[in-house]
Amino acid sequence: MQQAMDPLNLGNCEAQALRFKAQLRGKRGKWQSDFSCPTLSPLLEKQLMASSVQDQVVDFYYDLFGRVFSARFQVAIADRLRRDTVVREIQTAAGAASQSLTRFFINEKLTDGQISAILQGFGSLGNVLALEQISNPNETPEAVVERLLASGSLPDAVKGTIQEVV
* CA 61/CA 69 separation, integer angstroms: 11
- The candidate with the shortest Cα–Cα distance to 63, out of 127, 5, 143, is 127
pTM: 0.62
**How confident is the model over 67-97, as pLDDT tens digits?**
889 888 888 999 999 999 999 999 999 999 9
Query: What is the pLDDT at residue 163?
Result: 54
**How confident is the model over 22-39, as pLDDT tens digits?**
555 444 444 444 445 555
Q: How far is CA 4 from CA 50, 94, 135, in A?
A: 29, 42, 58
All structural domains of the chain with their residue ranges: 41-110, 124-166
User: Per-residue confidence at 135, pLDDT binned at 50, 70, 90?
Assistant: confident
* CA 106/CA 59 separation, integer angstroms: 16
**Cβ 15 vs Cβ 3: under 8 Å:** no
**How confident is the model over 151-162, as pLDDT tens digits?**
776 666 566 655
Segment 4-13 mean pLDDT: 48
Query: What is the pLDDT at residue 78?
Result: 93
Percentage of residues in the chain with pLDDT exceeding 70? Answer: 61
Q: What is the DSSP letter of 66?
A: I
